[in-house]
Amino acid sequence: MSGPEIAAPEPVKHPSLMRSAAVVSFMTLISRLTGLVQTIFLSHYLGGGRAADAYAVAFRLPNLLRRFAAEGTMTAAFLPTLTELEAKEGEEATRATAARFLGTLLTLLSGLVVVVMLSMGLIAGLLVVGKMGTSIPFGEKLALLGQVLSGSRPPPPQMALTVRLGRIMFPYLALVSLTAGLGGLLNLRGRFALASAVSIFSNIGFITFGWFAIQFGRSRGWTSPDAIATICAVAVLAGGLLQLAVIIPSSLRLGFTVRPGLYFKDPWVRLALRRMGPGLVAAGVYPINAVISTMLASNLKDGAQIVLYNSGMMGEMVLGLFAMSLATASLPALSRQAEAKDWHGMRGNLTEALGTTGLLVIPASIGMAVLAHPIATLIFRTGAYDADAASWTATTMMFQCVGLLFVAASRIGTQALYALKDYRGPVVIAVLSMLLNVLLSVLWLRPLGTGGLALANGVSSLAGLLFLVMRLKPRLPEMPTGPVLRSWLISLFGAAVMGLLTWKGAEWMRLSESLTRVSLALRLLPHIAVCAGVYGAMMLLLRHPQARAIARRIPSRFRR
């Protein structure tokens, strides 16, 4: 891809952290809502059985490697490098290096896509190895998998379907990675809205293509769950192509292009890749954790994979709305402040970001845990997704809520380490968290099932956050630990009161009873709004610093 060079770049503006985060939060809200519609679509047509499990496992591969190779790791190493380059050599050099870096990354990822697609039989087999037999030792399961791969034994139905879906969906990795890279460049220029909105187009593309394809398939008699899962896999690619097509014109207008090839001779490309190295290890721990959870969940009954997928999506909705918007907006600002050694400004931004995260994530976690069953019923109980699957999802969601604050704070704190050009610290933290997560997952799988896997992730995230604070302290003078903890305690007190109100209100409105979907929505959504309003009022009365700051900004918005 190439585009016209821009002789005079647009003036670079650096909006405030909270203003940028507000833009990202709004676009992320729309994105998560369309993602919610996509999840309802999947639940309705795929349900909670074997085909849904195969889809969830196959989609997890490119989605996890996207985190591994693209969004978090790439932008965390790429944007600070470009900030440093622009300060030393100017705008033209920055745009040229950006084109070469993204071209190199795209070429490497394209090769990875080919290799993984060829190896999908082995990869998918390991992920669903539990389906080789429910009561035989793990070693015997691996031996049976070897027989399947050698062709002397037919694969289990879920493995065969997972392989097919995985090969269809895995090219999505290259599409979404390139989109994430171009979005990072827009963020560098303070253009947060479109970069945060591209997933909206991905969701819309998925739903539109999927619906029409399913209707067409039904007219041809393709009504089996396997056929529906295959259509949904192709819809993933359709959504990925649409979101890339949407972001390309804006990147071209800013002068950012992509030049496919391997540009290892460019010193700045080498520097960014070198900085990505430790980050790849750190970011790779998350996929490893998820892969281990997937392998362990394959030992549970059919439906476990889609239950983990759906409960994880609800947790990511909270994180995406609040934590990721702040993390996305904070990296460019923190990078500039670290480069200028503006420690006071960096502490202020960290305090603001972490305090606001607690203000929003703590009540969202408590509220979602208390209302897990009516929320899961409203969202997931539709079509082929029955009441038992919805109840199972709700129980897993409750365990998922335990660690949301720690995951959110860790993502923001890790951005500070990257801004300080500490790329090894996240590796150590991630590896320690992974080891703890694996240990707890194995211990809690049998007694708690999918809930044990979700709880293990939350507890290991708390340990990771503690390691992160220890790593930041000697690198950032006067870490804002005290102000952040005070802010979180105020939020926790208010959220606890709100949680009690939420629980009693749910009992009074009988939200646990069998209700029609419309009736449940008419009771649940106003109840959530009232409880959120009570919590917000309490935060203002308790003089929560970030709540008061947000309240001060609201009137100025309406005066414009």
Give the model confidence (pLDDT) of 246-280 as tens digits: 998 988 888 888 888 898 888 888 888 877 766 56
**Comparing 31 with 69, which gets the higher pLDDT?**
31
User: In the predicted model, what is the mean pLDDT of residues 112-137?
Assistant: 80
- Res 352: pLDDT: 84
Alpha carbon distance 369, 404 (integer Å): 11
The answer to whether 538 and 494 are in contact (CB under 8 A) is yes
HEC per residue, 277-325: HHHHHHHHHHHHHHHHHHHHHCCCCCCHHHHHHHHHHHHHHHHHHHHHH
Percent of the chain with pLDDT over 90: 24
What are 269's two structure tokens?
């490309």
- Res 47: pLDDT: 83
Summarised one tens digit per residue, pLDDT across range 43-95 is: 888 887 888 888 988 888 887 777 655 555 666 667 778 878 888 888 888 88
Q: What's the mean pLDDT when you consider all of the chain?
A: 82
Where does the pLDDT of residue 558 fall: very low under 50, low under 70, confident under 90, or very high at 90 and above?
very low
User: In the predicted model, what is the mean pLDDT of residues 410-437?
Assistant: 81
The DSSP code sequence of 121-172 is: HHHHHHHTGGGG-SSS-HHHHHHHHHHHHHTSSPPPHHHHHHHHHHHHHTTH
Instruction: Residue 462: name the closest of 403, 525, 549 by CA.
Output: 403
Contacts of 113 (CB under 8 A, 6+ apart): 170, 171, 173, 174
User: In the predicted model, what is the mean pLDDT of residues 510-538?
Assistant: 89
pTM: 0.72
Helical segments of 371-421, H only: 372-380, 387-400, 404-419
HEC per residue, 62-118: HHHHHHHHCHHHHHHHHHHHHHHHHHHHCHHHHHHHHHHHHHHHHHHHHHHHHHHHH
Name the residue with tokens 């991905």: 202
Alpha carbon distance 312, 317 (integer Å): 9
Beta bridge partners of 382: 385
Task: Kindly tell me if the per-residue pLDDT of 137 is higher than 90.
Answer: no
- Res 253: pLDDT: 86
Where does the pLDDT of residue 185 fall: very low under 50, low under 70, confident under 90, or very high at 90 and above?
confident
In Å, the largest CA–CA distance within the chain is 73
Summarised one tens digit per residue, pLDDT across range 46-55 is: 887 888 888 9
Where does the pLDDT of residue 8 fall: very low under 50, low under 70, confident under 90, or very high at 90 and above?
very low
- Res 297: pLDDT: 83
- Res 114: pLDDT: 92
Alpha carbon distance 121, 144 (integer Å): 13
